[in-house]
Structure 1
Amino acid sequence: MPSNGLRTSLRTRRWLFSLPPIEWLSLRIQEALIGALRQGPIPQHVAFVMDGNRRFARQSHIETTEGHNLGFEALAKILEICYKAGVKVVTIYAFSIENFKRSKYEVDALMDIAKIKLSQLSQHGDLLDRYGAKIRILGHRSLVNQDVLEAIDRAMELTKHNDKAILNVCFPYTSRDEITSAVQSIVALATPSKSKGRHLETLTEEAVETSDCLLESHPQSRSESPSSNTTMASTVVSGSPNSAPLPLREHIDFAGVHHKEMLDLESISERTITDHLFTADNPPLDLLIRTSGVERLSDFMLWQAHQDTDIEFVDCMWPEFDVWHFLPILLGWGLKRKRFLREVKLDEERTHSRGANLSRDWGHNDYVQEKKGL
């Protein structure tokens, strides 16, 4: 964790870079670096765990809400760099379902900040409008108050025609909740085989009974969502065995995928689950960054983080994360990607060369016959 001396140096650096001549020079350098980055491979999907707002506030002796506000300012700057560099999709972990365990004061403050910042981001002429980015909210709508839902729907409506980039705001979200929702959608679409039909029918009847019980326990879940972009999934009990059941899960239909054909249970695969996630129509996750020095994913993008995803843990708080932290990460990703593509090309050339040698030694016809016989 950074010391008080380092905190002072960070504040000094921030003050220094705010001076007009230094700020002008810094912007010119940034533009040059971003231009250079665009000449090479750029990650198409970048995700951020924006961790450290509260700790930054405590260590800076300011209110927690002010720490979150500073975190939003950092986000706006990073988003601009992403879209300038050519990143198509940015996904941010804005609010975990687990965050509801925090004090009511802080949760309410975060919800108020979310309403204000979503409105600011989506205004005509603001950041997302300038770069043609649309907002998508990925999460569990039924846990959010009506006034916040209205702000969410307004932001999505205002940016729905933007088609150059996407900002996924995970709010409120956990990866386990997302995967559960995907599995529920798949089960609802699956066609049971004859051998399993009666068993699935029994399970369905039990699910309906459970759903009725939960609706009686949570009458508010009977109300319809104000958004037309929502789907109701089957009931799932969340948390520990002793925790109270959640109401029916209500999730936004982010991908807009319409499955007209029923699925066969035997055909369900990893791809099937991927196609039912909130990020179904997004490019694969190339880069995931977490600030604050904590080295874990905290139930974020667990399915999307595949074997080719670069994960970077940065030892600074999110409000401190700036272009000089981010650009080296983008540069490093681009260099690794170039090496990977070069190795793939060399492998293809070696394979082609071996094939050419075989063809020359055996004669084309013999080679073809040999291949057919394998």
Structure 2
Amino acid sequence: MANINSKKWFTDNDYTWYEKLGIKILNAGGNMPKHVGFITDGNRRSRKQYNISQREMHLRGFILMTKFMKLCRDFKIEEISYFSFSIENFKRSLDMNQSIFDVGTELFNCVPIEKEKFDEMGVCLRVIGNISLLPLDFQQSIKDAVKATEHNKQLIVNIVLSYTSHDEITHAIGTILKQDGELKDEDINEKLLEQNLYISKPLDMIVRTSGETRLSDFLMWQQKNCVIHFNKALWPQLTYTDFFNYLLLYQRRQHKFQNH
């Protein structure tokens, strides 16, 4: 594992030989999902299991997230979305949430510093959700990070913060109602709503950790035809092998549908 005190978004850790082989085999098979979502559940249980601080817990989750960013890029997946903090999480203790906001601010402040690496990797960082609910210094660090990477095209990484699907759809409707001109009945359709959502690209696959079999109001509109995998591992424990297997199952499913 990378240095737990590191706040780098990209480390120099390379793949093992069998991970490199897995990447080659799956890439040769084609039919890779274009948009993958991760519901990153299990951090708090991980903290109790390993008897670590809140800060270390959040950094372990961050390190795994950045590893999967690199892996998804190498699989030529176009977009990934990490569900990191729900609006419902504001009901948790102030101490728990403040720890998330403090670490998050530090991590996003590192993005402009690592801009050259983001450019080299072609990673465009976006933050999705009702950002106005977050502390002001956190909001500013998010804006600076997003601005620093907005021109990159190879992989879009959505950090889903202060979010629920209910809030996203409510926001989209409000945006539509504020648009100039009077809407006619025939103007109201799915395409109009999708154009005003935070994320328009439909999900192809979701991975949820921690053994929970709930979707927790995560990108519900975008799940029109989505494969969902529930993994018993806590978020910091999800492995490359788990993800390889899910991608292989996705490819087999797509191949089956194409031949029927």
Question: Normalising to structure 2: TM-score of the pair?
Answer: 0.89
Secondary structure in 2 aligned to 1:303?
Answer: coil
Q: Which residues in structure 2 correspond to 1:276-315 (within 5 Å)?
A: 276-280=196-200, 282=201, 284-306=202-224, 308-315=225-232
**Structure 1 CA distance, aligned partners of 2:154 and 2:96?**
34
**Contact 1:49-1:92 within 8 A present in 2 as well:** yes
Offset, 1:57: 0.7
Post-superposition CA distance 1:317-372 (Å, at most 9, x none): 000012111111111111111111222xxxxxxxxxxxxxxxxxxxxxxxxxxxxx
**Structure 2 CA distance, aligned partners of 1:332 and 1:120?**
36
- The answer to whether 1:49 aligns with 2:27 is no
Post-superposition CA distance 1:126-180 (Å, at most 9, x none): 3x33320111111112211211111101101110111112011111111110000
Offset, 1:65: 2.7
Aligned to 1:124: 115
Offset, 1:265: 2.9
Q: Which residues in structure 2 correspond to 1:1-374 (within 5 Å)?
A: 27-39=16-28, 40-121=30-111, 123-126=114-117, 128-189=118-179, 192=182, 263-280=183-200, 282=201, 284-306=202-224, 308-343=225-260
Change (3 A) 1:185 1:294: same
- Counterpart of 2:259, as a letter, is R
**Contact 1:58-1:64 within 8 A present in 2 as well:** no
Change (3 A) 1:120 1:34: farther
**Structure 2 CA distance, aligned partners of 1:279 and 1:85?**
21
**Contact 1:77-1:322 within 8 A present in 2 as well:** no
Aligned to 2:9: none
**Contact 1:115-1:152 within 8 A present in 2 as well:** yes
Secondary structure in 2 aligned to 1:311?
Answer: strand
Post-superposition CA distance 1:5-33 (Å, at most 9, x none): xxxxxx9xxxxxxxxxxx98x61111111
**Structure 2 CA distance, aligned partners of 1:179 and 1:114?**
25
Offset, 1:125: 3.9
**Structure 1 CA distance, aligned partners of 2:43 and 2:111?**
19
Offset, 1:191: 5.2
Q: CA RMSD, aligned part only?
A: 1.9
**Structure 2 CA distance, aligned partners of 1:179 and 1:328?**
33
Aligned to 2:5: none
- Counterpart of 1:299, as a letter, is D
Question: Normalising to structure 1: TM-score of the pair?
Answer: 0.63
5+ long unaligned stretches in structure 2: 2-12
Offset, 1:64: 2.8
**Structure 2 CA distance, aligned partners of 1:82 and 1:340?**
23
**Contact 1:190-1:264 within 8 A present in 2 as well:** no
Offset, 1:82: 0.5
Offset, 1:119: 3.3
Name the larger-Rg structure: 1
- Counterpart of 1:94, as a letter, is S
**Structure 2 CA distance, aligned partners of 1:120 and 1:334?**
36
Q: Sequence identity of aligned pairs in percent?
A: 32
Aligned to 1:223: none
Post-superposition CA distance 1:239-265 (Å, at most 9, x none): xxxxxxxxxxxxxxxxxxxxxxxx423
Secondary structure in 1 aligned to 2:109?
Answer: helix
**Contact 2:83-2:161 within 8 A present in 1 as well:** yes
Secondary structure in 2 aligned to 1:285?
Answer: coil
**Contact 1:133-1:162 within 8 A present in 2 as well:** yes
Offset, 1:50: 0.3
Offset, 1:118: 2.2
Aligned length: 247
**Structure 2 CA distance, aligned partners of 1:317 and 1:129?**
31
**Structure 2 CA distance, aligned partners of 1:166 and 1:143?**
23
**Contact 2:126-2:146 within 8 A present in 1 as well:** yes
5+ long unaligned stretches in structure 1: 1-10, 12-22, 193-262, 344-374
- Counterpart of 2:252, as a letter, is L
**Structure 1 CA distance, aligned partners of 2:192 and 2:47?**
43
**Contact 2:132-2:139 within 8 A present in 1 as well:** no
Aligned to 1:352: none
Greater shift in the superposed pair: 165-174 or 128-137: 128-137
